[in-house]
A and B are shown apart, each in its own frame.
Chain A
Amino acid sequence: MRLELRGITKRFGSFTANDRIDLTVEPGQIHSLLGENGAGKTTLMNVLFGLLHPDEGEILIDGEPVRFANSGDAVRRGIGMVHQHFMLVPVFSVTENVVLGFEPTKSLNRVDYKRATEDIVRLSAQFNLQVDPDATVENLPVGLQQRVEILKALSRDAELLILDEPTAVLTPQETDALMAIMRSLAEAGKSILFITHKLKEVRAVADVITVIRNGRVVGSAEPTATEGELASLMVGRDVELTVEKSAFSPGENVFEIRDLVVRDDRGLVKVNGVSLDVRAGEIMALAGVQGNGQTELVEAIAGMRHVESGTILLNGRDVTNKTPREVLDAGLGHIPEDRQRDGLVLSMSVADNLVLNTPRRAPFARRGTRNLAAVHDNAQKQVRDFDIRTTSVDEPVASLSGGNQQKVIVARELSRPLAFLMASQPTRGLDVGSIEYVHRQMVNHRNQGNAALIVSSELDEVLALGDRIAVMFDGRISGIVDPTTSREAIGLLMAGTAGATDE
């Protein structure tokens, strides 16, 4: 399919998210879209997928102008989309999610689940996307949910596949697998529109690169361009890809866990006797392939999951099985893994989300009444400092782009006095410029003598930030190493092979 976008303009009120965008995708081409957080990439894709209606401009498929009333129309014209924020029904099975909207039926309008399941099994074998068709989606790790999304798009014979930051939540192995799939789809003549903030991936897989800034196409690049060139084209200035850290001089233990055991929702032991300590002025990076217990560990520390045994000490206080409020009061700052579910109240304004865990404290409240002026001023300051792209601080946070939503959380947590910062995948979905900024903030926090635990599945991030690196595998710490350790050695710990001698 040959897709052409001509002069697409999309406004939200007085704000122009897409400004006369032209874009052509040839059959069999992998076309990569690069751009800062809030540049308008997702908006453009939503227009193309029929979820938003353009104010101006037209969409042409194989030279013929088309209009989509809704995304059902887009799917019927052969467009498939994997959304930045998954569009899966959590309580449905994989099969139900994949067929939703396009169900094979038997008599009496019944859904033919047998046929649907067979189709999925065949498709997942064909594209090497293994997933249990009967599993309930909410019980699947994010990587598998991502697979379900891709299967859903492929099952409808998409000729053009839109992938909006599909790799943000994938492990490196899963990312490699996805890129292999993309290549094979392109060879089969399908077109792909691929959005990512990871410049490595762009260089590895793209045929054509288009860069968008502030809603406009600002240029294109060859896949042979260096990461530095791509970064400065995107952000419009040079980006430091590494952070300066002051000399490492750790102090007292601020945070300590002993023999922690935590179960997941299905009652399986996910954290199996973990002990860890973090000192003042130190960043402890927790590396590991997703699904090895990091999520449960973080939830238990934050007071959001029951601790079966073991203790958590924060600032000398025992916070084991305390409520999130008590843990926060003890000095924890928390950047959660799933921003939309656990970090934000999407329907509330940017300003309110920026004081979400301190609304009752001075200066944001006095004698039980909110001080809205202070809330507003704080919001203005954070929006400026963290470069949060929003039309106004009174906008609901839901209308921000994915990366800017993440920045709201980071700004909120880093702008209040903390004894201990715990951040889970803190730069997921951020553009290179923002990553640079957030990393610098976290290092500042450490340089001022504070402690931090940073959970990340990005090896680059772990190596850039960590003063020590703990690797988690299968519910245990398989090793604690310093950042000069080779990637290979850390990789082995992540795969559990080096730690196996412990047992």
Chain B
Amino acid sequence: MSVIESTAAVVSNRRVRVIAVMMGVLGVFSLIVFAVGSPSVAHSSFLFNPVNLSESAPWHVGTLTLNSRLADLVLALIMIGLAVETYVRRPARGVMVRFGGVAVLFLLTLLIWAARTPGPSPVSFVNLTALLIGSSEVTMVLVFGSLSGVMCERSGVVNIAIEGQFIGGAFVGSMLASTTHNFFYAAIGGALIGGAIGWILAFFALRYLSDQIIVGVVLVTMLGSLSSYLNLQVFTPFPQYNTGNLAPNLAIPLLSKIPVLGPVLFNQSGFFYLMLVLIGVISFALFKTRYGLHVRAVGEHPRAAATVGIDVVRVRYINVILGGAIAGIGGVAFMASQGQFQPNYTSGLGYIALAAMIFGRWRPSGAVVASVIFGLSVYLSYTLTSYQVPVSLYILQMFPYLITIAVVAGLIGRVRAPAADGVAYQHD
């Protein structure tokens, strides 16, 4: 009705086209580079067994062997078809789902191409289940980060400091895990440091109405340097405080034996299960409870919330601190999947987590789906060099960031952020 919305409607129509074009570019890329780029006799073979379960598993999924060119051709055509459909029909809903689907298909065509063996008989394999398990570590961190983002931004505060909360959580977590040998204490420590960083952000943003993005970036920069310094001062001379922190996997009986996905979802560390619980809890809290309604009101229209007696500043403090704690635990989880703290190890995952949150339209469920896609592409960019990919590792590592930029640029005008996101609130 209003002009702003109608302008948004016009713009969003254009955005749909932009997104469709992006989908089309991915499809054509797959077609030309991956499908046509594979020799017509090449084959790609996939395994579905986790390395550590392959002998004992009661089931055995056979290898899947595909003609590389044919398979990529079919998938690329589906991608192009989806792009054309989106461009022509400009559907009001489900654009993001289509984009996500095309992104997944793109990764698949890439994999099929990377796994190709020139002759008709398979010689090397890509183990898909192992790949998913590998990427689940990155995905897990992204989920913690994007859930943190959802918590903060739904209440109207932009938390750019997620990266810093990861770093802080990882550092403290490593120290606590090596001294107490208990990951529970490590998680608590990570939550406390993450929450404390959240509190600093909230304090400047809510008390002094400072620019939230600037405060966030300053915090990340500070924590990055601080952790490098402390690493040199503490972990280098006393390596015993930063070793042997690999969180053990806890296989869930029966469930972990489900073919293909069982080992990915149900043979994981405690942090992974904690993440699954958090996804459910936050979705429930945000969309079903009284508190969640208040949070969303505060993020959309703080003045309206204030007129019904909701304490805007308090709600924001609580959410930013809780969001910080969640990101802090994410940092511990990442440290525990690597076994130790390393400076700069998170290398921008906090920002990718924010992109995942945008892609997921500020919903926990959407953020999870986006995190899976981003997690896969980050992981692939690190592992593809072991396949026959004639591209420099450094170029490949740009890949997830390119996807992030494309997503944020293409979607940011289409999806609607909480209206008061990042806007300081001052009562009279």
Interface residues of A in 327-353 (CB under 8 A from B): 336, 338, 341-342
C-alpha gap A206/B16 in the complex (Å): 53
Minimum distance in angstroms from A46 CB to a CB of chain B: 8
Describe A's contact surface by its main secondary structure: loop
Most B C-beta atoms less than 10 A away, residue of A105, A304, A306: A304
Rounded to whole Å, the gap between the CB of A73 and the closest CB of chain B is 7
Over the window 67-105 of chain A, the binary record of Cβ atoms lying under 8 Å from chain B Cβ atoms (1 yes, 0 no) is 000111101000001010011111110001000111101
User: Is the CB of A476 closer than 8 A to any CB of chain B?
Assistant: no
Min Cβ gap A336→B in Å is 6
B308 touches A342 (CB 8 A): no
Query: Which 4 residue pairs spanning A and B have beta carbons closest together?
Result: A72-B309, A101-B308, A87-B304, A342-B3
Residues of chain A within 8 A (CB-CB) of B6 are 264-265, 296, 299, 304-305
A92 CB contact (under 8 Å) in B3, B5, B289, B300: B300
Of B33-41, B271-279, B290-298, B401-409, the one with at least 4 CB within 8 A of chain A: B290-298
Given that A52-B428, A92-B300 are contacting pairs, would A341 and B307 also be in contact in the complex, using a CB cutoff of 8 Å? Answer: no
Q: Give complex CA distance A91, B300 in Å.
A: 8
Residues of chain A within 8 A (CB-CB) of B307 are 49, 51, 71, 81, 83, 87
Contact of A500 with B by CB under 8 A: no
Residues in B neighbouring A75, C-beta threshold 8 A? 308-309
- Evaluate contact between A264 and B288: CB separation under 8 angstroms: no
Instruction: Tell me whether A109 and B9 are in contact in the complex, defined as CB-CB below 8 angstroms, given that A88-B301, A139-B1 are known contacts.
Output: no
**A8 contacts the other chain (CB 8 A):** no
Give the residues in chain B near A336, CB-CB below 8 Å.
3
Residues of A within 8 A of B428 (CB): 12, 46, 51-52
Q: Would you list 17 pairs from A and B whose C-beta atoms are within 8 A, ordered by A residue?
A: A49-B307, A70-B306, A71-B306, A81-B307, A89-B296, A89-B300, A89-B301, A91-B300, A92-B300, A100-B293, A102-B308, A103-B293, A108-B288, A139-B1, A306-B9, A338-B2, A341-B3
**Does A111 belong to the interface (CB within 8 Å)?**
yes
Interface band, chain B: 20 to 34
For B396, list chain A residues within 8 Å (CB).
none
B108 at the binding interface (Cβ < 8 Å): no
Q: Is B310 an interface residue (CB 8 A)?
A: yes
Closest to A96 in B: B293
Say if the beta carbon of A367 comes within 8 Å of chain B.
Answer: no
Q: Chain B residues near A338 (CB, 8 Å)?
A: 2-3
Q: Are A305 and B290 in contact (CB under 8 A)?
A: no
**A342: B residues at CB distance < 8 A:** 2-4
B240 at the interface (CB under 8 A from A): no
Residue of A nearest to B298 (CB): A89
Cα distance, A100 to B428, chains bound together (Å): 22
A92 touches B297 (CB 8 A): yes
**In whole angstroms, what is the CA distance A342 to B4 when docked?**
7
Residues on A with C-beta less than 8 A from B419 are 90-91
Contacts of B304 in A (CB 8 A): 86-89, 100
Chain A residue at smallest Cβ distance from B285: A109
A51-B307, A265-B9 known; A108+B289 contact, CB < 8 A: yes
Given contacts A96-B293, A141-B1, A264-B6, 16 further A-B contacts (CB under 8 A): A51-B307, A83-B307, A87-B301, A89-B304, A100-B293, A100-B308, A101-B308, A101-B310, A109-B290, A110-B288, A111-B290, A265-B1, A299-B6, A305-B9, A305-B10, A336-B3
Q: Which of A96, A101, A304 contacts B3 (CB 8 A)?
A: A304
- Chain A interfacial positions (CB closer than 8 Å to B): 12, 46, 49, 51-52, 70-73, 75, 81, 83, 86-92, 96, 100-103, 105, 108-111, 138-139, 141, 264-265, 295-296, 299, 302, 304-306, 336, 338, 341-342
A109 touches B291 (CB 8 A): yes
Most buried by A among B6, B13, B297, B306: B6
Q: Please measure, in the bound complex, the distance between the C-alpha atom of A110 and the C-alpha atom of B286, giving whole angstroms.
A: 10
* A264 & B297 in contact (Cβ 8 Å cutoff): no
Q: Are the CB atoms of B303 and A87 closer together than 8 Å? A: yes
CA distance in complex: A90, B299 (Å): 12
Q: Give which listed residue, A46, A100, A109, contacts B305 with CB less than 8 A.
A: A100
The yes or no answer to B311 lying at the interface (CB within 8 A) is yes
Q: Name B1-46 residues within 8 Å CB distance of A.
A: 1-7, 9-10, 13
B289 contacts A109, C-beta separation under 8 Å: yes
Q: Which residue of A is nearest B428, CB measured? A: A52
Contact residues in A for B297 (Cβ distance below 8 Å): 89, 92, 100
A280 to B241, CA, bound (A): 84
Shortest C-beta distance, B20 to chain A (Å), equals 18
* A103 to B295 CA separation, bound complex (whole angstroms): 14
Per-residue contact bits, chain B 298-338, to A (CB 8 Å; 1 contact, 0 not): 00110111111111000000000000000000000000000
Residue of B297, B305, B309 contacting most chain A CB atoms (<10 Å): B309
Instruction: Determine which residue in A70, A81, A336 has the highest number of CB atoms from chain B within 10 A of its CB, and name it.
Output: A70
Q: Measured between C-beta atoms, what is the minimum distance from A352 to chain B in Å? A: 18
Least CB distance from B253 to A in Å reads 29
A81 vs B289: C-alpha distance when bound (angstroms): 25
CB neighbours (8 Å) of A73 from chain B are: 309
Residue of A whose beta carbon sits closest to that of B300: A89
User: Which of B7, B13, B290, B427 has a CB less than 8 Å from the CB of A304?
Assistant: B7
Bound-state CA distance A145–B385 (Å) is 59
Contact B3 A299 (CB under 8 A): yes
A49 to B309, CA, bound (A): 10
A141–B1 CA distance with the chains assembled, in angstroms: 8
Most buried by B among A100, A103, A265, A336: A100
Which residues of the partner chain B approach A111 to less than 8 Å between Cβ atoms?
288-290, 293
Q: What 1/0 flags go to B150-188 for Cβ under 8 Å of A?
A: 000000000000000000000000000000000000000
A72 touching B1 by the CB < 8 A rule? no
Chain A residue with the shortest CB-CB distance to B299: A89
**In the bound complex, how far is the Cα of B5 from the Cα of A100, in angstroms?**
24
CB distance from B160 to the nearest CB of A (A): 22
Among the listed B5, B300, B303, which residue makes an inter-chain contact with A265, where contact means beta carbons less than 8 Å apart?
B5
Chain A residues positioned under 8 Å from B306 (CB to CB): 51, 70-71
Report chain B residues within 8 Å CB of A92. Answer: 296-297, 300
Contacts of A110 in B (CB 8 A): 288-290
Q: Which residue of B lies closest to A81 (CB)?
A: B307
> How many angstroms between the C-alpha atoms of A89 and B298 in the bound complex?
9
The CA-CA distance from A7 to B428 in the complex, in Å, is: 20
Shortest Cβ distance from A152 into chain B, in angstroms? 8
State the CA gap A258–B289 with chains docked (Å).
52
Is the CB–CB distance between B311 and A70 below 8 Å?
yes
Q: Which of B4, B294, B296, B309 contacts A341 (CB 8 A)?
A: B4
**In the complex, residue of chain A having the shortest beta-carbon distance to the beta carbon of B416:** A91
Q: Which residue of B lies closest to A141 (CB)?
A: B1
Identify the closest chain A residue to B7 (Cβ).
Answer: A304
A305 to B5 CA separation, bound complex (whole angstroms): 9
CA distance A203 to B135 in the complex (A): 73
Given contacts A49-B307, A81-B307, contact A105 B3 (CB under 8 A): no
- Across the interface, name the chain B residue whose C-beta is closest to A152: B308
Instruction: Let me know if A72 and B2 touch, CB within 8 A.
Output: no
A296 to B1, CA, bound (A): 8
Residues of A within 8 A of B290 (CB): 103, 105, 109-111
- Highest count of chain A CB atoms <10 Å: which of B1, B3, B304: B1
Q: How far is the CA of A163 from the CA of B380 in the complex (A)?
A: 61
Residue-wise, chain B 102-119 has the 8 Å CB interface mask toward A (1 for contact) of 000000000000000000
Min C-beta distance of B282 to chain A, whole Å:
14
Determine the residue in chain B with the shortest Cβ distance to A72: B309
- The answer to whether B309 touches A70, judged by C-beta atoms less than 8 angstroms apart, is yes
Smallest beta-carbon distance B294→chain A, Å: 8
Could you tell me the distance in whole angstroms from the C-beta of A404 to the nearest C-beta in chain B?
17
How long is the Cα–Cα vector from A92 to B297 in the complex, in angstroms?
8
CA distance A20 to B6 in the complex (A): 45
Which of A12, A73, A83, A110 has most B Cβ within 10 Å? A110
**Residues of A with C-beta under 8 A to B291:** 109
Chain A's closest residue to B4 (CB) is A341
Which residues does chain B contribute within 8 Å of A83, judged by CB atoms? 307
Min distance, Cβ B284 to any Cβ of chain A, angstroms: 8
User: Which residues of the other chain, B, contact A108 by a CB distance below 8 angstroms?
Assistant: 288-289
